[in-house]
Structure 1
Amino acid sequence: MRKILLNSLAMMAVLLSGSLVGCSSEKVRVTFSDQNKVITIDSSGDSLAEALEDQGVNVESLKSRYKPSIPWDQKTEGQTEIQLACNCEVTLHVGGKKVGTFKTLQPTVGAFLKERNVTLTEWDEVQSPLDQKIVNGMEVVVNQVEQRIKKKVEIVPYKTVEEKDDQLAFGEKETEKEGKKGKKIYEVVVLYKNGKPILENGKPKVQEKLVETIEPVDEIVKIGTNKELAQKEKNQPKLTSAGTMTVEATGYTHTGNRTATGTWPKRGTVAVDPDVIPLGTRLYIPGYGYGVAEDTGGAVDGKIIDLFFETRAEAIRWGRRTVTIQILK
């Protein structure tokens, strides 16, 4: 009797357990891509549409606006979350122009732009956050910002440095070294938004960066202080110019020999190529003064003249210059 009772109790426990299992069901979250709304339905033998209708939802209205992650007529068994993707209408503007209005199932602004093949640069501005949910009727605006780079050159003037020279007649000036202007080169960046300059205080926003500096070269001018030489030149007879000639002028000093015309060289003695400038020709050489063609030299060929200086240092300081001399008569 006791054995029969125990068996009956065991059978009742099994039936009760089965009944409880049959009554329990998993919950399924139904989420929306365009809003934070969540509907909880039972995971059962009902289809998604039926389960939502049991919750009092107007399914026909949803079908016109959303695409579910499973078919509407599929049973919800085995699902934990079902997403309803909004088939939203979105208007896209890029670079200040309307691209068009499009239907999209993408959940976020970033995904929508990728779908429309819109590539963003590091400068572009999207008016909505890329992770913002897409909603119906939304406008996505992309402002295209670009840098336009050009070069600006600022001229830096050179200085004129005057140096006294007792080898020049008093009051004479001679340019020993030509001055050269310097440069400051800037990289100028102008920012444009949608093809128009970005304004700051009513003016285009400009960024300047110094990229290269070329220093100016000072001009060196010799100022004559030799009053004795100035007096000698003043006492020279008045001569007129018979013409000019551009030559290369070098300097030399004492060699211990007489000139080609038999004189001892002195300041004012000029070595020439007699085929170009006849011996005995009076000359005026800028930066040197008056001279007479009364010597020759092996290196003096063509339009080259060699000017005599009393010291080697003076000759070296003169160097080699291109000058336009006057032929006097």
Structure 2
Amino acid sequence: MKKTLIISIGVAAILLLSGTVGYAMMNKEVTVSFSDKEKTVSTNVLGGTLEEALADEGYNPAKLKAKYKPSVPWDQPIQKDTNIRLACKCDVSLKVGGKDPKKYTTMEPTVGEFLKEKKVQVDSNDQMNATMNEKITDNMTVVIDKIERRVQKKVETVDFDVKKEKDPELPAGEKKVEQEGKPGKAIYQVTALYKNGKAMVTDKKLVDQVKPVTQIVKVGSGEEETASNSELASGSRIAGLKYSRTMQAETTGYTATGNKTATGTTPRRGTVAVDPDVIPLGTRLYIPGYGQAVAEDTGGAVDGNVIDLYFDSEEEAIQWGRRNVTVYILE
């Protein structure tokens, strides 16, 4: 009797042990990872499918199927320990160079692979709101600002100085240009950074220069020459032209502005702008170094004994500069 009991217990133990081994051999460990999430799901599957395993873990298979594509079929029985990856069908907005964003659906896991998929080139100077190895997530927006560096040269004119020297050989009040002044040049390298076509930062660096030539003006310090009443009565002359009187004036040069003169004429060489309270419009003048002129225009900066001389080109006007001369009022 005892022998029979022992045999029975032994058989039961063998059967129980056999079932345990069989269960262990059928139970599989599965790790599920999501392309758009950091967390993973680890579970044991006993002859079931991926869909069943995730349902057991509390997930809604229908929602997962709509948003993810697995690395194994949803309904395939899991027969070994395995790692399964769910690739997100993520909606992504892409904005490049300040343009309106475009919407895409992608299953690429990272920003870099998504941009490669869309054939979007990112330069080393460009700025992004995400890194290349950042995970793609649903409803993500990727912004790429295009940064451009432009380098060009800029030339600026440097005004020349005027140096006055006393000359006893000239009558008091008379002036004579001994050396014409010439403007110089300052050459700059201008570097500008543009973000999506709009200037952000500008750097200006002097790289070369041409120094201006100082204008030397002789100023008379001798006795002032005056005309007697009889000489004025008989009509004094300058360059063969009769004049009634003289005056000291500061002269400047200007060129075409596209406007008519104050008297309605088109400016030309010989047209000068004056202060009509000093020189009435229509007055004929002779200006040494310039020639005959007619007072036909006025100007905001022309005040008192200032006369603005018209030249055909900007170069001539600059070359004339600012001179103090004796002006002859013609008869």
Q: TM-score, normalised by structure 1?
A: 0.50
What is the CA deviation profile of residues 261-315 of structure 1, one whole-angstrom value per residue up to 9, with x for unaligned ones? xxxxxxxxxxxxxxxxxxxxxxxxxxxxxxxxxxxxxxxxxxxxxxxxxxxxxxx
Other-structure match for 1:41: 43
Letter in 1 for 2:204: K
What is the Cα deviation at residue 68 of structure 1?
1.1
* Alignment partners' CA distance in 2, 1:222 and 1:54: 102
What is the Cα deviation at residue 183 of structure 1?
2.0
* Alignment partners' CA distance in 2, 1:79 and 1:147: 55
What is the Cα deviation at residue 126 of structure 1?
2.3
Other-structure match for 2:30: 28
Change (3 A) 1:75 1:176: farther
What is the Cα deviation at residue 103 of structure 1?
1.1
Other-structure match for 2:103: 101
What is the CA deviation profile of residues 127-179 of structure 1, one whole-angstrom value per residue up to 9, with x for unaligned ones? 3444433222223232333344444322223345678999x999998877655
Other-structure match for 2:270: none
Tell me the secondary structure at the aligned position of residue 98 of structure 1.
coil
Contact 1:49–1:73 (8 Å) recurs in 2:
yes
Q: CA RMSD in A?
A: 4.4
Change (3 A) 1:37 1:176: same
What is the Cα deviation at residue 65 of structure 1?
0.6
1:207 aligned residue (173, 192, 202): 202
The within-5 A match list for 1:11-26 is: 16=17, 19-20=20-21, 23=24, 25=27
What is the CA deviation profile of residues 69-124 of structure 1, one whole-angstrom value per residue up to 9, with x for unaligned ones? 22223444445422111101222222233353211001222322222112122333
Contact 1:184–1:210 (8 Å) recurs in 2:
no
Other-structure match for 1:230: none
Other-structure match for 2:83: 81
Letter in 2 for 1:61: K
1:51 aligned residue (50, 53, 62): 53
- Give structure 2 stretches of 5+ with no counterpart: 1-9, 223-237, 241-331
Alignment partner of 1:136 is 2:138: yes
* Alignment partners' CA distance in 1, 2:43 and 2:66: 21
Tell me the secondary structure at the aligned position of residue 53 of structure 1.
helix
* Alignment partners' CA distance in 1, 2:100 and 2:162: 61
Alignment partner of 1:218 is 2:213: yes
Letter in 1 for 2:24: C
- Give structure 1 stretches of 5+ with no counterpart: 1-8, 199-204, 228-239, 243-329
Other-structure match for 1:120: 122
Contact 2:194–2:201 (8 Å) recurs in 1:
no
Change (3 A) 1:164 1:131: same
Contact 1:43–1:78 (8 Å) recurs in 2:
no
Change (3 A) 1:67 1:223: same
Contact 1:170–1:223 (8 Å) recurs in 2:
no
Change (3 A) 1:184 1:80: farther
Letter in 2 for 1:69: S
Other-structure match for 2:63: 61
Contact 2:111–2:136 (8 Å) recurs in 1:
yes
What is the CA deviation profile of residues 45-72 of structure 1, one whole-angstrom value per residue up to 9, with x for unaligned ones? 4332233234343222211110112222
Considering only CA atoms, is the larger Rg found in Structure 1 or Structure 2? 1
Change (3 A) 1:64 1:214: same
Letter in 2 for 1:209: K
Identity of aligned residues (%): 40
Contact 1:146–1:192 (8 Å) recurs in 2:
yes
* Alignment partners' CA distance in 2, 1:218 and 1:18: 109
* Alignment partners' CA distance in 2, 1:186 and 1:79: 70
Tell me the secondary structure at the aligned position of residue 97 of structure 1.
coil
Q: TM-score, normalised by structure 2?
A: 0.50
